[in-house]
A and B are shown apart, each in its own frame.
Chain A
Amino acid sequence: MGFGFLHRHRGSTAYLLLAPGMLFLVVFFLVPLGFLAYQSLESGSIDFGYAFTWAWDNYSSAITGYGTQFKRSFAYAGIATAIALLVSYPVAYWIAFRGGRWKNLLLLCIVAPFFVTYLIRTLAWQTILSDDGLIVRTLTDMHILSPGGRLLATGTAVVAGITYNFLPFMALPLYVSLEQIDQTLIEAAEDLYASKWTAFFRVTFPLSLPGVVAGTLLTFIPAAGDFINAQLLGSTTNHMIGNVINSKYNELIDYPAAAAMSFILMAIILALVLIYARAVGSEKLTG
């Protein structure tokens, strides 16, 4: 960590080149972050105003009061990330290795839903999963769903929505890392007595790990803080921490509580990412 990499460049050119980016980071990230930290330790109410009082109980009450939503956020995000990985990997694999001249078109198909606004896409799912929609009717007819059962306003719908909305963030990094794999490496593995499956698990998959890590992080992190899917496709029993922060901030105007929760969310995500990076091993990621 730190700015050790700066030492590689002697002279001022590197600093000059870095300046705009650094300035941007300071103005649009560090300053708001500091402000948020300050706010999270305030106490008071919207009517009488807030004052800085080192109010650490904002944190403790966030955890005691909304532990369920925190846990649910990470569970939903985790499941959605796992499903997105399982769904995207074969797709990315197929496009990278078998796509031929259709590669670009197929990639376009993956990002195509992104041409429609996030909100509209999720609202569309509301219609698709609605009680009198095609899916619910079909599942009821097939006796998979009991009569009167519903999809909308369930955890399943929220997870499905998150998975769908973040799928491209998973698929594209996977595609990039798979596409870079030299095909002769797979031939070499087969030459050395590895069956297709063994070659996949011993060579292809390990070499695609950078894509797996990038994809899971790009999916998991925003998914854990998401509230649109839970709001539009779930009920209050499916609310995630994002919904709580949103309502604290926008509806209850309880800035300190919202700020404290944001910090807790950030801290947990950071911790999970570090554990994850450790587990996968940075050695493997750099090849």
Chain B
Amino acid sequence: MDESVVTAPPSAASPSAENGSGPEYDIRLIGLTKRFDDVVAVDNLSLDIDRGHFFALLGPSGCGKTTTLRMIGGFEEPTEGRIELGGVDVAPLPAYKRDVNTVFQSYALFPHLSIFENVAFGLRRRRVKGGEVRRRVVEALELVGLAGLERRKPRQLSGGQQQRIALARALVNRPRVLLLDEPLGALDLKLRKEMQLELKRIQSEVGITFVHVTHDQEEAMTMADQIVIMNGGHIEQSGTPTELYESPRTAFVAGFLGVSNLLEGTMVGEDRVKLSDGTEVQCPREALGGRTGTVQIGVRPEKLRLGAGEANSLSGTVAESAYIGVSTQYTLDTPAGPVTVYVQNDRPGGQVATGERLTLSWSPESTFVVDSQEGLQ
């Protein structure tokens, strides 16, 4: 009897999913659309989120991240589309019947309740017995490293501590999915870095699916094992951080995740592209995917080498240089377009002056191909 309470919080949202093989997705969004009057906040979004993953929803401000999260949480009704949690359509369920919990950006701790009662709030609503409540609250507070603060009021805690309490208050319920809307946004840089690692540790410890909303690409790369990049209400690309970084499929993704050099060209063979200045470069065949006509290829600055050692090369004059300490960033004017490169400052006096000519080269495997038009495919 007690066992069932411990292992799986019973709720209307998770009925038969436990028996049998169960669905492999925790969340499925199918053609999800949200319109506010004339604003399309979320546009026909389809997405599967695997169980137990740390999932980041990344995108610029106003791209519909919060709206998506609020629809999953039950605070906003979709204009169109379906939301499935563990294989069950949750459209008819109000927020309080959904087996998801949210960590709000403002933490939203109840100011009139003690830390203990804040964390116990969800358990009490589910009529968990007193001793069990005590045990689980203490356990949750230990998980976030704040045991012993039970009797304080939220206003007696620092921002970082409140953030952890908000996390504990959600996790203590052992939801199917934890939704986090920019939970680290209000913390200073140092604390934010700490909490990123902390959140990652906690996620792997509890094994609950985390959906983490952020507009900070570095944060998403650090924490998530799956990232979805959103733009203007739709998905640009999803995949692991490495996939997204190494082979961005759109110019938007290439530009949003770090710096990249994009060059226009035309197809001249199954794995060859001729740049606008006539230089031919080699690209991975599967990246080109049988394209014809004009294409846009890209290469990350750190993949470029000085000198002509690799298969693909370009020359140009140094237009700008910026000393960053560990490396120097040069922007070159080449006939094919501007190219940025990082050069390690491993030798003293190794700086290149503005106006000097440089040759850069890179390997075909480091080349990616993007759809020049945003939203294509």
Q: A187 — which chain B residues lie within 8 A by C-beta? A: 75, 95, 102, 104, 108
Q: Are A188 and B96 in contact (CB under 8 A)?
A: no
A200-238 contact mask (Cβ, 8 Å, vs B): 1 or 0:
001100110000000000000000000000000000000
Q: How large is the interface on B (under 10, 10 to 19, 20 to 34, 35 or more residues)?
A: 20 to 34
Q: Are B75 and A207 in contact (CB under 8 A)?
A: no
Residue from B11, B104, B125, B153 in contact with A194 in the complex, judged by beta carbons closer than 8 Å: B125
The answer to whether B212 has its CB under 8 Å from any CB of chain A is no
A140-174 contact mask (Cβ, 8 Å, vs B): 1 or 0:
00000000000000000000000000000000000
Q: Are B112 and A184 in contact (CB under 8 A)?
A: no
Q: Are B106 and A189 in contact (CB under 8 A)?
A: no
Q: Are A188 and B104 in contact (CB under 8 A)?
A: yes
A93-133 contact mask (Cβ, 8 Å, vs B): 1 or 0:
00000000000000000000000000000000000000000
Which residues of B line the A interface, CB within 8 A? 11, 73-75, 94-97, 100-102, 104, 106, 108-112, 121-122, 125-126, 153, 155, 169-170, 173
Q: Are B104 and A184 in contact (CB under 8 A)?
A: yes
Per the bound structure, the CA–CA distance linking A206 and B113 in Å amounts to 10
Q: A184 — which chain B residues lie within 8 A by C-beta? A: 104, 106, 108
The answer to whether A191 has its CB under 8 Å from any CB of chain B is yes
Among A187, A188, A206: residue with most chain B CB under 10 A:
A188
Q: Which residue of B lies closest to A186 (CB)?
A: B108
Q: Are B112 and A206 in contact (CB under 8 A)?
A: yes
Per the bound structure, the CA–CA distance linking A184 and B95 in Å amounts to 13
Among B74, B125, B169: residue with most chain A CB under 10 A:
B125
Residue from A188, A194, A195 in contact with B108 in the complex, judged by beta carbons closer than 8 Å: A188
Whether A188 contacts B112 in the complex (CB less than 8 A), given A193-B96, A194-B96, A198-B125, comes out as no
Q: A190 — which chain B residues lie within 8 A by C-beta? A: 74-75, 94-96
Q: Are B111 and A207 in contact (CB under 8 A)?
A: yes
Minimum Cβ distance to chain A for residue B38 (Å): 19
28 A-B contact pairs sorted by A residue (CB < 8 Å): A182-B108, A184-B104, A185-B108, A185-B111, A187-B102, A188-B102, A188-B109, A189-B110, A189-B121, A190-B75, A190-B95, A191-B96, A191-B100, A191-B101, A192-B96, A192-B101, A192-B122, A193-B97, A193-B122, A193-B173, A198-B125, A199-B96, A203-B110, A206-B112, A207-B111, A207-B112, A284-B112, A287-B111
Q: B104 — which chain A residues lie within 8 A by C-beta? A: 184, 187-188
**13 other contacts beyond A187-B75, A188-B104, A192-B101, with CB at 8 A cut-off?**
A182-B106, A182-B108, A187-B108, A191-B73, A191-B75, A191-B96, A192-B121, A192-B169, A193-B96, A193-B122, A193-B173, A203-B112, A284-B112
Q: B75 — which chain A residues lie within 8 A by C-beta? A: 187, 190-191
Q: B102 — which chain A residues lie within 8 A by C-beta? A: 187-188, 191
Minimum Cβ distance to chain A for residue B181 (Å): 10
Q: A188 — which chain B residues lie within 8 A by C-beta? A: 102, 104, 108-110
Per the bound structure, the CA–CA distance linking A189 and B94 in Å amounts to 12
Minimum Cβ distance to chain B for residue A44 (Å): 55
Per the bound structure, the CA–CA distance linking A207 and B112 in Å amounts to 7
**Which A residues, 233 to 287, have Cβ-Cβ distances below 8 Å to chain B?**
284, 287
Q: B96 — which chain A residues lie within 8 A by C-beta? A: 190-195, 198-199
